[in-house]
Copies of this chain bind each other. A is one copy, B any other.
Amino acid sequence: MLSSAQSKYIRSLTQQKYRKQYNVFLAEGDKIAKEWLISAAKIQMIIATQDWADLNSLHIKAHPEAELCIATPQELEKVSALQTPHKAVLVANMPAESSLPGSGWCIAVAHLQDPGNMGSIIRIADWFGMSHVIASPDSVDFYNPKVVQAAMGGHLRVQLVSAELKEFITGTSLPVYAATLGGSSLYDVSGGKEGIILIGNESKGLPEELVALATYRVTIPRKGGAESLNAAVSAGIIAATLAGR
């Protein structure tokens, strides 16, 4: 059973200010909880139904640092930040802060707002073996529970850094590929071994001051009537074309 203090604590972690205050975040769901337990991540609490805990007892034993709380499905529903609650929720320690990348491929996002898009972009970076996703400080929090869910374990392999993009881009020696409308055709730009793929806000795109600092302005050529593509889809197409081969 979860005490009301425990419920309140877990529930508070759906808010960024409490995640920062306690330096932990939520990893929800069978698959994601298992990925975290298999990893070397430090876990503070494991909240799970009795049947889930029984099925995953070996994984749980590998984390003696974690407090195990058996909960009913109703209790889990109350603490879940997601629409469909799961059989297991972890409270995981935030990883140590990463530094900015100096080589290889990464994706940088400016003022990205949708948690599903952020999670998908971390998953894209993870798929293509990129070391980092960098987000401007006004983007949705990397540790928002919906971001964690959509990234499908990407948080365990991709370094996530919140940074002012203007400073990052000004200071880097990596080529910067800015996703814009009205740039060069993506198919005419050749990728290489490294670079920064720069993706903007869902409705406003990239700020002009960042585009002006980019090495290349790239556009996915349009053949039909849509005004734009979804931000994560654009990131995926650009990543696959420049960094996927």
Q: Which residues of A contact B (CB under 8 A)?
A: 116, 120, 123-130, 150, 152-154, 156-158, 186-187, 220-230, 232-237, 240-241, 244-245
Contacts and interface: CB of A to CB of B under 8 A. Distances in A.
Contact of A187 (B116, B186, B245): B245
Contacts of A236: 229-230, 233-234, 236-237
Contacts of A225: 126, 129, 153, 156-157
B120 A224 contact: no
Specify how many copies of this chain sit in the oligomer: 2
8 contacts: A116-B116, A120-B233, A123-B229, A152-B227, A187-B244, A187-B245, A220-B240, A237-B237
Contacts of A221: 244-245
B187 A230 contact: no
Contact of A126 (B129, B130, B226): B226
Given A116-B116, A157-B224, A227-B152, A124 B233 contact: yes
B226 A127 contact: yes
A229 B151 CA distance: 9
Contacts of A129: 222-225
Contacts of A130: 224
